[in-house]
Structure 1
Amino acid sequence: MSTHTTPTHAASQPAHTVKAWWQAAPFTAVFALFFLVPLALVLMVSFWNFNEYELIPGFTLRNYFAIFEGCGKLTDNGDLCVSLSTYLSTLKFCLLVWGITLLIGFAVAYFLAFHVRSPGMQTALFVLCTVPFWTSNVIRMISWVPLLGRNGLVNQGLVGAGIVEQPVEWLLFSDFSVVLAFVHLYTMFMIVPIFNSMMRIDRSLLEAASDSGASGWQTLWNVIVPLSRTGILIGSIFVITIVMGDFVTIGVMGGQQIASIGKIIQVQTSYLQFPLAAANAVILLAIVLMIIWGLTRLVDIRKEL
């Protein structure tokens, strides 16, 4: 019996391997066509030269040097160069938005997962959180203008209540309005993965912690947060990658007065400076990948999922 089964098993192994490769081939082709090929083109163009009229294929580091030209010393006012200041500004927005969305997203997900007992109510409240996504990002951003403008509802309320004598200027077209719009737009990207992780937590662990005398805060910090770290990581990756490359929100809510890397790339593209824009895109991608790499060192997503 053994002399017949062993060759049969060995012969069926290559066929199974070929079948698996055929199953993966369509996804591999889509990934290569829509991700690897465009990424390779951007990297290639970043080393090209250009002038006012044409792109000049070749290999040059001129674009990368031009981005950080003059950054070896401070300006006459004691500030950093434009490129470094813009990258730091983008990182500042990214850090602020990440922190605020994490706090709000964790709180909302915790409430839905542990304080709403009815599955039907959980679903209804979860769908309610997605209502803003039923309209476009631009419409949601513009909706803040009549609220935060100099003659908007917020300023009218503050002046009418006697809290301020004159309208507050920094409510719109400022860092505050940009961060507010980012939080409004992208908090849902933090809520969904954290909520999913919390729903997978075994409730008997919470009961065991309570029986052991742990307080609510101790249970939260020592049980719920560690078991929700996969959702926190995935949500963080979503928010960080979106904010780092966003230029529409900063342009609209910043009144075209606040710079970001995404905004610089958009401006360079509009002026047909494609190699310079590609070089900035490569640097931005490298920074985002380093941030993601640092986050994935904290949690092994493949083991947790």
Structure 2
Amino acid sequence: MALVFLIFFVLPLAATVLVSFWQYTQYSIEPAFTAQNYGDVFYGCLRDLPNLCTTFRTYLSTLKFGLIVWAATLVIGFTIAYFLAFHVRTLKVQVILFIICTIPFWTSIVIRMISWIPLLGRNGLVNQTLLFMGAIDTPLEGLLYSDFAVILAMVHLYTLFMVVPIFNSLMRIDRALIEAARDAGATGFQTLAFVILPLAKPGILIGSIFVVTVVMGDFLTIGIMGGQQIASVGKVIQTQMQFLQFPLAAANAVILLVAVLGGVWALLRLVDIRKEL
């Protein structure tokens, strides 16, 4: 396992950090040691104060998607996991419903995103239904190629990453604790808030780490559902790689990695996951 970790994680990460200090021109990449790439990432940020520079606006846009998708997947994922763990009595039915949740993952991520276009497009099913009902006079333009479309697709794609760890934590809860809370006079909300949620914190934390790390680096969903009009850090890195600006892309990747690791560290400060597990 240590060898696999070294080959597939440590070495690529070390190569990315190394390349981030190389020089590049329009025609070549030269091994060197320079911090110019990191300076180029934040070029103009001090000059534009008090306004935010492009880099900070891009990171804020990425963070916005991360927080909204995290909150939505947490609510939906916890609800689904809670239903499966406490309201489905037989293991067979739990397995069947869990498999149903995984069905979207049997198809390509691109197909799952494209499937929203006939629904959200200007002449899509949603607009046509609203026009038929008389709820609107003209088709809604903001359903597709917008922040709403990006968030909707991400929630659709990544909710399962929240369901699985939360479901695992909920299944480990001793049902006698819930019965004890009820016998002590706790309401359903009090049982949820003071018994179930604290015991489900490891699953919530693991699911949050999965969702946040994936969303922060996502560029494919933003490119397709945003119509190539919405900026994100992952999209910037992809564009720089297309123009063969590998050192600059590597510098952006390192900065993004540090930002994501900072968020993960903050989450780990909330729960001692090794102790809880």
Q: Could you say whether these structures have the same fold, taking a TM-score greater than 0.5 normalized by the shorter chain as the test?
A: yes
2:105 pairs, out of 133, 157, 166, with: 133
Does the residue aligned with 2:186 lie in a helix, a strand or coil? coil
2:92 pairs, out of 95, 99, 120, with: 120
1:108 counterpart residue number? 80
Q: Distance in 2 between matches of 1:74 and 1:220?
A: 48
1:65 counterpart residue number? 39
2:3 counterpart residue number? 29
Max Rg structure? 1
Query: Do the aligned residues in 2 keep the contact of 1:197 with 1:230 (CA within 8 Å)?
Result: yes
Instruction: For 1:74, give the aligned amino acid.
Output: D
Of stretches 115-124 and 97-106 in structure 1, the one that deviates more from structure 2 is 115-124
Question: Shift in Å at residue 300 of structure 1?
Answer: 1.5
Instruction: For 1:103, give the aligned amino acid.
Output: V
1:187 counterpart residue number? 159
Question: Shift in Å at residue 74 of structure 1?
Answer: 3.2
Question: Shift in Å at residue 205 of structure 1?
Answer: 0.3
1:272 aligns with 2:251: no
1:40 counterpart residue number? 14
Q: Distance in 2 between matches of 1:92 and 1:220?
A: 28
Query: Do the aligned residues in 2 keep the contact of 1:73 with 1:80 (CA within 8 Å)?
Result: no
Post-superposition Cα deviations, 1:44-63, rounded to whole Å, max 9, x if no partner, equal: 11011110111111111111
Post-superposition Cα deviations, 1:239-278, rounded to whole Å, max 9, x if no partner, equal: 0010000100000000000010000000000100000000
Of stretches 168-177 and 126-135 in structure 1, the one that deviates more from structure 2 is 126-135
Instruction: For 1:41, give the aligned amino acid.
Output: A
Post-superposition Cα deviations, 1:110-130, rounded to whole Å, max 9, x if no partner, equal: 111111112111111111111
Identity score, percent: 64
Does the residue aligned with 1:130 lie in a helix, a strand or coil? helix
Runs of 4+ deviating beyond 6 Å: none
Q: Distance in 2 between matches of 1:158 and 1:55?
A: 54
Q: Distance in 1 between matches of 2:168 and 2:200?
A: 9
1:148-297 residue pairs with structure 2 within 5 A? 148-297=120-269
CA RMSD between the two structures: 0.9
Q: Distance in 2 between matches of 1:125 and 1:30?
A: 34
TM-score (norm 2): 0.98
Post-superposition Cα deviations, 1:93-151, rounded to whole Å, max 9, x if no partner, equal: 00000000000000110111111112111111111111111101100000000000000
Does the residue aligned with 1:91 lie in a helix, a strand or coil? helix
1:55 pairs, out of 29, 32, 56, with: 29
Post-superposition Cα deviations, 1:137-173, rounded to whole Å, max 9, x if no partner, equal: 1000000000000000000000110000000000000
Structure 1 unaligned runs (5+)?
Answer: 1-26
Instruction: For 1:33, give the aligned amino acid.
Output: I
Q: Distance in 1 between matches of 2:167 and 2:110?
A: 27
User: Would you say how many aligned residue pairs link Structure 1 and Structure 2?
Assistant: 277
Q: Distance in 2 between matches of 1:303 and 1:91?
A: 29
Q: Distance in 2 between matches of 1:97 and 1:150?
A: 24
Q: Distance in 2 between matches of 1:79 and 1:177?
A: 28
Query: Do the aligned residues in 2 keep the contact of 1:237 with 1:292 (CA within 8 Å)?
Result: yes
Q: Distance in 2 between matches of 1:72 and 1:80?
A: 9
Instruction: For 1:34, give the aligned amino acid.
Output: F
Of stretches 114-123 and 159-168 in structure 1, the one that deviates more from structure 2 is 114-123
Q: Distance in 1 between matches of 2:5 and 2:101?
A: 31
Q: Which has the higher contact order (CA 8 A, sep 6+)?
A: 2
Structure 2 unaligned runs (5+)?
Answer: none
Of stretches 189-198 and 78-87 in structure 1, the one that deviates more from structure 2 is 78-87
